[in-house]
């Protein structure tokens, strides 16, 4: 066994080879990114429109169009830049360590610290972090699909190479680093990958469809108004520019970057709660989850195992001590204590988890269960290092998810540990095996995790993998307490109508005891084992589609079938996993969730969400954020569409009356609304935090724009703004002496137009607060929960005063400072809109109570 490099050798080699990182991708210059946002197809059309406006002698319209291009371009650029950098930051947070042997000790080091000549130890589930040469191997197989495209794992033998970026899917190996960083084969592939373009996400496709629909509507409105303008005596060029201005004003150019910001905000909110989103669109998908298939160990429990009881054929021992400290002892008669020592050493040899010295203390490495077995050996007084040196390992057989056992051949002795029902079936003493099985059931009924330990002497390497006729040493009971707040998280799932299933490889009695303890199941739960699952997916789906079902002794293939069967029944499935063989199930689920602290690299690569703390409550928090993000997208869509109604109505009234009713607001005023007063409140709505009712009732996801949203925007909020703004406009005209069909004086029209403009802005102010909830009146919502909205509204009011109070700006836009009565009329837009919103929500609540409307 190689001792590995010394610390001084590592330092010297790192100075020569540099960090083990891929060369950073050469990003396009920031200026080029900005230019791209200002020169895409739609932007080029707007530039052409601005040029036509200049040629037609309308520089004000040209400047306004250019402002639209620049504001939306800069905003889109900022969001793209932030999203790109946020992905890098999240990637930096991902665990990236390798197990090496240095100075004769096993230790975990950052992948970036690997140097040529390092001894790297690999097990199933590990990512290969540098180019390696295999020194010793046991049943080693690697997934090299990243390099070759071949999905079948390659069997790797001593002397062959493993390449960075591949994964160990089976077996174990000791290897030596041959190349790092930019000298690896992966570096060449990474260079080619940078040239590839990622396709748009499903959410982006849906949003693009929304933008196209709204854009087509805007163009159609422009065409109609162009025709009406010609009939009213406008020249073709004037009519064209007039229609063009309206079209430009009504197209929601900033919608996509606003949605991106909402998703990015959701991703950052999840990161603050220890959930890393690997794909931004998964933020929205999380909100639609209806079924969670969760692991037990580490997710529902603390994953801090301690052996507290050992059964041997001679009697039972109690083990004292906490955590990874070596103090503690085995409380048993001498004969039993001697057997415990043999059992503890055998369990140690059949494991890879170790407790290693580190900075004056002890550092656990590997599976917490196996570390607990090492601690048991130390507490039993076994000198594991001395005995291991006298029995060098000949063959290591990692945990087999089908046989549910792991083994090691040391010298000629085979040491085995695994599920009691599997190991005990291979033991030669049937009476002892039967007694051990009863002891295992008794421990499992108490919620302990149970393992059987056995050995066989005089075993040849060729017979080790299938060896039977084992000598039973005993059964170990390990305590892994539930996480303190997991019960509250499960209760939150129930309130959210999210069904739960525990899927574990553990003993069914252990799983049942823990599920009852945390409230996952009722007093008479459905408990099945993997062997009892139906053969057909339809029958499987019917069996497991029950809240609180417990499925024990499950293989990775069965997890994949469960995910597929539940999805076939219409569920949006979240599946947790940490092992290398869990990757197919994670990909099959709508949301694959990997463990960041204890999971394998393969599982993390396959997942959409990585839990840094491996905590079930973090999944629930992420779902809450996902639901909130979807609701936020609908909030600012409602906000945008309401404003479009208020902006289009004056032109529709002007056109329908053949010009007899003056135009309340102009094109430049619409542009001022879109790029001035409305932008910041829309962004603030995208950052609305989850409310206490977010996890109450079923998820409401699917179409971004549905009948309910359209009714609210076009049938309630929009008409309320129209009534308030056109009513105020008409009142000011009438007060100034205007009569139907007359042409008002320029001063009167400017004052009335300023009043209408103020009414729309103030109506949108109220609309921003109304859009914070789809069910509760705005006055019942605490405005302090969204401080960004308060700031946005304050800026909106400042801009309103500037647009109407600064003479040069007011003259350019076409309005003027309203008279006192005009301000009073404009202010009525706030109570009018809030009253309409409150009445609509009350009517809907009454219909829900009567059963004539859906509750969400």
3 state DSSP class of 411: coil
Structure tokens at 583: 């990757």
CB atoms within 10 A of CB 255: 21
pLDDT of residue 208: 67
Q: Is the pLDDT of residue 112 over 60?
A: yes
Q: 453-468: per-residue pLDDT in tens?
A: 999 998 888 777 777 8
**Strand pairing of 413-418 and 449-456?**
antiparallel
pLDDT of residue 605: 74
Q: Please compute Rg for the chain using Cα positions.
A: 34
Determine the average pLDDT of the residues in 470-486: 92
Residue 469 per-residue DSSP state: S
pLDDT of residue 520: 93
Catalytically active residues, by annotation: 295
In order of 112, 621, 779, 832, the CA distances from 782 in angstroms are 48, 21, 8, 20
CB 818 within 8 A of CB 755: yes
3 state DSSP class of 167: strand
DSSP string for 784-833: GG-HHHHHHHHHHHHHHHHHHHSHHHHHHHT--PPPHHHHHHHHTHHHHH
- Least reliable range by pLDDT among 190-204, 386-400, 568-582: 190-204
CB atoms within 10 A of CB 91: 11
Determine the average pLDDT of the residues in 255-271: 76
Determine the average pLDDT of the residues in 678-688: 86
Determine the average pLDDT of the residues in 774-778: 88
Q: Is the pLDDT of residue 244 over 80?
A: no
pLDDT of residue 34: 80
Q: In angstroms, how far is CA 71 from the centroid of its own chain?
A: 30
In order of 209, 569, 853, the CA distances from 774 in angstroms are 24, 29, 14
Q: How far is it, in rounded angstroms, from Cα 251 to Cα 218?
A: 6
Phi-psi region of 87 (alpha: psi -120 to 50; beta: other; left: phi over 0): alpha
pLDDT of residue 97: 84
Q: Is the pLDDT of residue 136 over 80?
A: yes
Q: Is the pLDDT of residue 606 over 70?
A: yes
pLDDT of residue 193: 43
Query: How would you class 149 by CB atoms within 10 Å of its CB: exposed for 0-12, middle for 13-18, buried for 19 or more?
Result: exposed
Q: Is the pLDDT of residue 667 over 50?
A: yes
- pTM of the model as a whole: 0.73
Phi/psi for 546 (5° steps) reads: -140, 135
**For the chain, how far is it from start to end, CA to CA, in angstroms?**
64
3 state DSSP class of 530: helix
pLDDT of residue 825: 96
Read off the pLDDT band of 89 (50, 70, 90).
Answer: very low
Q: Is the pLDDT of residue 853 over 60?
A: no
pLDDT of residue 584: 81
CB 834 within 8 A of CB 770: yes
- Least reliable range by pLDDT among 51-55, 177-181, 850-854: 850-854
Q: How far is it, in rounded angstroms, from Cα 164 to Cα 99?
A: 15
Which residue(s) pair with 358 in the sheet? Answer: 361
Who's near 431: CB < 8 A, 6+ residues apart? none
Determine the average pLDDT of the residues in 365-380: 87
Determine the average pLDDT of the residues in 587-611: 80
- Taking each helix axis as running N to C, give the angle between helix 787-805 and helix 746-770, from 0 to 180 degrees, rounded to the nearest 10: 180
DSSP string for 232-293: TT--HHHHHHHHHHHHHHHS-TTHHHHHHHHHHHHHHHHHHTTEEESSTTHHHHHTT--EEE
In order of 67, 243, 257, 325, 717, the CA distances from 216 in angstroms are 22, 13, 19, 70, 22
Angle at 605 between CA 599 and CA 610, to 5 degrees: 55
Mean pLDDT score across all residues of the chain:
84
3-state SS record for 751-771? HHHHHHHHHHHHHHHHHHHHC
Q: Is the pLDDT of residue 602 over 70?
A: no
- Least reliable range by pLDDT among 152-161, 228-237, 512-521: 228-237
Which has more pLDDT, 799 or 24? 799
Determine the average pLDDT of the residues in 74-97: 59
pLDDT of residue 506: 85
Q: 746-764: per-residue pLDDT in tens?
A: 999 999 999 999 999 999 9
pLDDT of residue 856: 52
Q: How far is it, in rounded angstroms, from Cα 653 to Cα 41?
A: 32
pLDDT of residue 727: 95
3 state DSSP class of 599: coil
Structure tokens at 594: 């990997």
- Closest listed residue to residue 582, CA positions, set 599, 603, 567, 600: 603
Q: How far is it, in rounded angstroms, from Cα 842 to Cα 856?
A: 14
Read off the pLDDT band of 210 (50, 70, 90).
Answer: confident
Structure tokens at 609: 């969400």
Q: How far is it, in rounded angstroms, from Cα 82 to Cα 726?
A: 41
pLDDT of residue 87: 46
DSSP string for 628-645: HHHHHHHHHHHHHHHHHH
Q: Is the pLDDT of residue 480 over 70?
A: yes
Q: How far is it, in rounded angstroms, from Cα 527 to Cα 654?
A: 70
Q: Is the pLDDT of residue 199 over 50?
A: no
Which residue(s) pair with 471 in the sheet? Answer: 455
Q: In angstroms, how far is CA 231 from the centroid of its own chain?
A: 55
3 state DSSP class of 105: strand
Q: Which residue has the tokens 């000198």?
A: 383
CB atoms within 10 A of CB 317: 23
Read off the pLDDT band of 93 (50, 70, 90).
Answer: very low
Read off the pLDDT band of 404 (50, 70, 90).
Answer: confident
**Strand pairing of 471-479 and 449-456?**
antiparallel
Determine the average pLDDT of the residues in 495-523: 91
Q: Which residue has the tokens 């605490």?
A: 782
- Closest listed residue to residue 598, CA positions, set 305, 201, 243: 305
CB 603 within 8 A of CB 680: no
Q: In angstroms, how far is CA 292 from the centroid of its own chain?
A: 14
Which has more pLDDT, 41 or 515? 515
CB 797 within 8 A of CB 791: no
Structure tokens at 470: 């084992």
CB atoms within 10 A of CB 29: 9
**Helices vs strands, H then E, count in the chain:** 32, 25
Phi/psi for 574 (5° steps) reads: -105, 125
- Closest listed residue to residue 657, CA positions, set 750, 720, 726, 757: 726
CB hemisphere CA count around 843 (13 angstroms): 8
- Least reliable range by pLDDT among 52-56, 474-478, 542-546, 829-833: 52-56
CB atoms within 10 A of CB 611: 28
pLDDT of residue 245: 62
CB 379 within 8 A of CB 354: no
pLDDT of residue 702: 63
Q: How far is it, in rounded angstroms, from Cα 255 to Cα 206?
A: 12
Which has more pLDDT, 721 or 599? 721
pLDDT of residue 789: 93
Query: What is the dihedral sign for C-alpha 441, 443, 448, 453?
Result: negative
């Amino acid at each position: 066994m190689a001792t590995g490099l010394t610390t001084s050798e590592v330092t010297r080699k790192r100075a020569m080879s540099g960090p083990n990182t891929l060369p950073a991708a050469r990003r396009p210059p920031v200026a080029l990114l900005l230019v791209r946002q200002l020169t895409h197809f739609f932007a080029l059309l707007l530039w052409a429109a601005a040029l036509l406006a200049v040629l037609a002698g309308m520089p004000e319209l040209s400047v306004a169009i250019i402002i639209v291009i620049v504001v939306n371009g800069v905003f889109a650029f900022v969001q793209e830049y932030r999203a790109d950098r946020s992905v890098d930051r999240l990637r930096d947070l991902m665990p990236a360590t390798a197990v090496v042997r240095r100075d004769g000790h096993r230790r975990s080091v950052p992948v970036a610290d690997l140097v040529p000549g390092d001894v790297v130890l690999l097990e199933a589930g590990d990512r290969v972090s540098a180019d390696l040469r295999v020194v010793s191997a046991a049943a080693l197989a690697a997934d090299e699909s990243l390099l070759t495209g071949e999905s079948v794992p390659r069997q790797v033998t001593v002397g062959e190479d493993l390449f960075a970026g591949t994964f160990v899917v089976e077996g174990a190996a000791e290897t030596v680093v041959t190349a790092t960083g930019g000298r690896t084969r992966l570096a060449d592939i990474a260079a080619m990958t940078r040239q590839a373009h990622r396709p748009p996400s499903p959410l982006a496709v849906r949003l693009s469809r929304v933008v196209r629909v709204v854009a087509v509507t805007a163009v159609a409105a422009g065409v109609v108004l162009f025709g009406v303008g010609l009939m009213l005596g406008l020249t073709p060029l004037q009519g064209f520019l007039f229609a063009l201005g309206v079209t430009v004003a009504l197209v929601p150019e900033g919608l996509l970057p606003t949605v991106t910001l909402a998703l990015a905000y959701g991703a950052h909110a999840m990161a603050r709660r220890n959930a890393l989103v690997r794909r931004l669109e998964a933020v929205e998908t999380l909100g639609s989850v209806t079924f969670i298939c969760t692991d037990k160990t580490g997710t529902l429990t603390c994953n801090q195992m301690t052996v507290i009881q050992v059964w041997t054929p001679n009697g039972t021992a109690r083990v004292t001590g906490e955590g990874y400290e070596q103090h503690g002892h085995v409380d048993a008669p001498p004969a039993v204590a001697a057997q415990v020592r043999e059992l503890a050493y055998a369990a140690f040899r059949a494991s890879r988890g170790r407790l290693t010295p580190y900075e004056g203390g002890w550092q656990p490495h590997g599976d917490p269960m196996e570390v607990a077995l090492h601690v048991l050996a130390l507490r039993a007084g076994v000198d594991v290092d001395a005995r291991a040196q006298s029995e060098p390992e000949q063959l290591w057989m990692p945990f087999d998810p089908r046989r549910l056992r792991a083994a090691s051949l040391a010298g000629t002795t085979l040491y085995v540990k695994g599920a009691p029902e599997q190991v005990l079936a291979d033991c030669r003493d049937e009476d002892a095996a039967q007694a051990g099985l009863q002891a295992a059931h008794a421990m499992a009924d108490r919620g302990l995790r149970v393992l059987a330990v056995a050995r066989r002497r005089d075993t040849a390497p060729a017979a080790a993998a299938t060896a039977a006729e084992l000598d039973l040493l005993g059964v170990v009971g390990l305590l892994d307490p539930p996480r303190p707040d997991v019960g509250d998280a499960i209760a939150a799932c129930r309130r959210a109508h999210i069904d739960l299933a525990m899927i574990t490889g553990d003993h069914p009695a252990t799983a049942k005891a823990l599920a009852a303890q945390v409230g996952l199941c009722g007093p008479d739960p459905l408990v099945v084992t993997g062997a009892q699952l139906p053969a057909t997916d339809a029958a499987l789906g019917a069996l497991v589609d029950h809240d609180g079902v417990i499925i024990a002794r499950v293989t990775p293939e069965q997890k994949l079938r469960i995910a597929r069967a539940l999805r076939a029944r219409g569920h949006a499935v979240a599946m947790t996993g940490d092992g290398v063989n869990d990757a197919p199930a994670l990909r099959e689920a709508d949301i694959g969730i990997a463990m960041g602290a204890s999971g394998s690299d393969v599982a993390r690569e396959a997942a959409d969400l990585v839990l840094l703390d491996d905590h079930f409550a973090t999944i629930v928090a992420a779902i809450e954020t996902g639901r909130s993000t979807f609701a936020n997208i609908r909030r600012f869509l409602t906000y945008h569409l309401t404003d479009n109604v208020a902006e289009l109505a004056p032109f529709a009234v002007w056109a329908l009356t053949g010009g007899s009713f003056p135009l309340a607001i102009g094109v430049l005023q619409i542009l001022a609304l879109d790029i001035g007063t409305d932008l910041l409140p829309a962004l603030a709505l995208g950052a609305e935090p989850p409310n206490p009712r977010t996890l109450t009732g079923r998820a409401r996801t699917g179409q971004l724009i549905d009948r309910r949203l359209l009714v609210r925007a076009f049938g309630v909020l929009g008409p309320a703004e129209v009534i308030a703004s056109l009513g105020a406009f008409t009142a000011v005209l009438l007060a100034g002496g205007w009569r139907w069909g007359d042409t008002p004086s320029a001063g009167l029209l400017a004052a009335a137009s300023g009043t209408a403009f103020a009414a729309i802005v103030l109506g949108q102010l109220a609309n921003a607060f109304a859009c914070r909830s789809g069910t509760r009146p705005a006055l019942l919502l605490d405005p302090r929960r969204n401080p960004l909205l308060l700031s946005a509204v304050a800026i909106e009011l400042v801009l309103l005063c500037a647009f109407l109070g600064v003479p040069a700006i007011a003259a350019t836009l076409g309005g003027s400072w309203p008279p006192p009565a005009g301000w009073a009329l404009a202010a009525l837009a706030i109570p009018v809109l809030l009253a309409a919103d409150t009445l609509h929500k009350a009517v809907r609540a009454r219909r829900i109570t009567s059963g004539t409307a859906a509750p969400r």
